[in-house]
C-alpha cells in the first residue's frame, strides 16, 4: 500500500491523508534499525516498508525484523 502525501485541498482529502509520508516516516524512525535518512513510501501491512534513500535513485525494501535494506527491482513501464 502506497503511503499518501498530505492533501490540504479540502477536509475530506485531509482526512484521507492523515497518515501521510511525513507521519509514517517519523513512526518508522522510532525503530533502531530504520535508516536515519530513509523516507517511507509504501507498506506491506506487516511492518516492512519500501523506502527511498537520499543520494540513490533506487527503491529499497526495509525489513522491520532484521533491519536489512535491499534494493528492489522496479519496472516503471
What confidence tier does 16 reach under pLDDT thresholds 50, 70, 90? low
Whether the CA torsion 28, 29, 30, 33 is positive or negative: it is positive
Range in 11-20, 32-41, 43-52, 58-67 the model is least confident about: 11-20
Tell me how far apart the alpha carbons of residues 37 and 51 are, in angstroms, rounded to a whole number. 10
- Burial of 28-48, coded b for 16+ CB within 10 Å and e otherwise, reads beeeeebbeebbbbebeeeeb
15 pLDDT tier (thresholds 50, 70, 90): low
Residue 57 has pLDDT above 60, yes or no: yes
- Per the model's pLDDT, the better-predicted residue between 73 and 29 turns out to be 29
pLDDT band with cut points at 50, 70 and 90 for residue 4: low
Amino acid at each position: 500500500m502506497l503511503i499518501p502525501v498530505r492533501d490540504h485541498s479540502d477536509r475530506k482529502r485531509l482526512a484521507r491523508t492523515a497518515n501521510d509520508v511525513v507521519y509514517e516516516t517519523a513512526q518508522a524512525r522510532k525503530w533502531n534499525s530504520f535508516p536515519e535518512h530513509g523516507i517511507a513510501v509504501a507498506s506491506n501491512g506487516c511492518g516492512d516498508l519500501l523506502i527511498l534513500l537520499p543520494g540513490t535513485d533506487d527503491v529499497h525494501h526495509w525489513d522491520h525484523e532484521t533491519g536489512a535494506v535491499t534494493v528492489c527491482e522496479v519496472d516503471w513501464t
